[in-house]
Amino acid sequence: MRTINLGLSGIQVPTIAVGCMRINNIGKNEAETFVKGALDLGANFFDHADVYGGGTCESIFADAISMTPAVRENIFIQSKCGIKPGIAFDFSKEHILASVNASLKRLKTDYLDVLLLHRPDALVEPEEVAAAFDTLQQQGKVRNFGVSNQNPGQIQLLRKFVRQPLVANQLQLSITNAAMITEGLHVNMTDNAAVNRDGGILNFCRLNDITIQPWSPFQHGFFKGVFLGNKEFPKLNAKIDEVAAKYSVSNTAIAMAWLLRHPAKFQPVTGTMNLSRLSDCVKAAAITLSREEWYAIYLAAGNILP
């Protein structure tokens, strides 16, 4: 699979990340088949979080991949921490360290390749985050650090104290959830599409070599469902199907290729536990949509050009 630089980490990673949030929804044998199939596809970057399945997703993954030192050397593991479901967000040093230690135990590994802070914490004390990151790096438990769903000001605040490069920012982005792209096209306009909702996070990440990891790349709204094959998006699906026929691939591959065409070099995070669909996502890495095709799909989603 095609690879990209992960921020300023100095490591090359697959341009498609395998999200493991739903691995607890399939059986043991299915999980083993899925993980092995992902590896066969060259998709060896796995995204986790301590809250996925209440921690069970990390344990299921470790068992499914038969975690050993030899296996560990050939995969990338990313996890996230900072959410206490329904209670609070917690970026305290104590919580970060405890969360990472618990994830490592569940994943049966000594280290994470990447740790992301999972959503912003309104009570964040960046000095504590910096202390936690330093401890984890010195102990060899985390090699790279990043954030999730954070805007430029929040990242800059962390960077004032955190010594390590923040290599990734995981953000919701898809053809139908493309506000960060749209506001850049409607500069100096008075329409709703011109509203800057995230502080210009797209250009900020590009300027600072932070890899954007789009999550829910096939969802519309906030987990309202996929737009592919959805009767609410007839024009979009017709255009995607038209382009898919040209390249002899599925609609899934074209929807993913639309994200990969962007020069920011996104690393989309899949959510499927269907190996065939993951294979379609991987095929997207070999497709480069033309500028005209990219814009045609963008417009078919209901977006307009000023």
Domains of the chain: 3-300 (3.20.20.100)
Rounded distance between C-alpha atoms, residue 47 and residue 18, angstroms: 6
Q: What's the pLDDT score for residue 89?
A: 98
For 41-195, where are the alpha helices, taking DSSP H only?
A: 56-64, 69-72, 93-107, 126-138, 152-159, 179-185
For residue 206, what pLDDT band results from cuts at 50, 70 and 90? very high
Count Cβ atoms below 10 Å from residue 28 Cβ, excluding itself. Answer: 10
User: Any catalytic annotation for residue 247?
Assistant: no
Q: For tokens 């030192």, what's the residue?
A: 69
Q: Using only C-alpha atoms, what is the Rg of the chain?
A: 19
Question: Which residues are within 8 A (CB) of 29 and not within 5 positions of it... i.e. 6 or more apart?
Answer: none
Q: What's the pLDDT score for residue 142?
A: 98
The model's pLDDT over 69-88, given as tens digits with 9 standing for 90+, comes to: 999 999 999 999 999 999 99
Separation of CA 202 from chain center: 14
Mean pLDDT computed over every residue of the chain: 97
Separation of CA 28 from chain center: 25
Helices and strands (H, E) in the chain, number of each type: 12, 12
Count Cβ atoms below 10 Å from residue 21 Cβ, excluding itself. Answer: 18
- Out of 52, 247, 295, 298, the active site residue is 52
As a whole number, mean pLDDT of residues 202-212 equals 98
Using alpha carbons, select from 285, 284, 305 the residue that is nearest to residue 295: 305
For residue 3, what pLDDT band results from cuts at 50, 70 and 90? very high
The model's pLDDT over 215-245, given as tens digits with 9 standing for 90+, comes to: 999 999 888 899 999 999 999 999 999 999 9
Count Cβ atoms below 10 Å from residue 219 Cβ, excluding itself. Answer: 19
For 4-92, where are the alpha helices, taking DSSP H only?
A: 28-40, 56-64, 69-72
Report the share of the chain in percent with pLDDT over 70. Answer: 100
Question: Which residues are within 8 A (CB) of 207 and not within 5 positions of it... i.e. 6 or more apart?
Answer: none
Q: What's the pLDDT score for residue 224?
A: 86
124-153 burial, b at 16+ Cβ within 10 Å, e below that, comes to bebebbbbbbeebbeeebbbbbbbbbbbbe
Q: What's the pLDDT score for residue 221?
A: 86
What backbone phi and psi angles, to 5 degrees, belong to 298? -60, -45
The model's pLDDT over 267-287, given as tens digits with 9 standing for 90+, comes to: 999 999 999 999 999 999 999
As a whole number, mean pLDDT of residues 11-19 equals 98
Q: What's the pLDDT score for residue 222?
A: 85
Using alpha carbons, select from 182, 249, 256 the residue that is nearest to residue 226: 256
Q: What's the pLDDT score for residue 223?
A: 81
Per-residue pLDDT for 180 more than 90? yes
What distances in angstroms separate CA 301 from CA 233, 264, 280, 290, 306, one per listed residue? 7, 21, 21, 17, 15
Q: What's this model's pTM, rounded to 2 decimal places?
A: 0.97
What backbone phi and psi angles, to 5 degrees, belong to 14? -60, 145
Count Cβ atoms below 10 Å from residue 206 Cβ, excluding itself. Answer: 15
Rounded to the nearest 5 degrees, what angle is found at the Cα of 276, between the Cα atoms of 274 and 277?
Answer: 65
Per-residue pLDDT for 132 more than 90? yes
As a whole number, mean pLDDT of residues 18-24 equals 98
Count Cβ atoms below 10 Å from residue 99 Cβ, excluding itself. Answer: 24
Per-residue pLDDT for 201 more than 90? yes
Q: What's the pLDDT score for residue 248?
A: 98
Contact 81, 44 (CB under 8 A): no
As a whole number, mean pLDDT of residues 164-174 equals 98
For residue 305, what pLDDT band results from cuts at 50, 70 and 90? very high
For residue 151, what pLDDT band results from cuts at 50, 70 and 90? very high
Per-residue pLDDT for 27 more than 90? yes
Long-range contact set of residues 2-6: C-beta below 8 Å, sequence gap at least 24: 2/285, 2/286, 4/211, 4/265, 4/267, 5/209, 5/211, 5/265, 6/114, 6/144, 6/167, 6/168, 6/211, 6/267
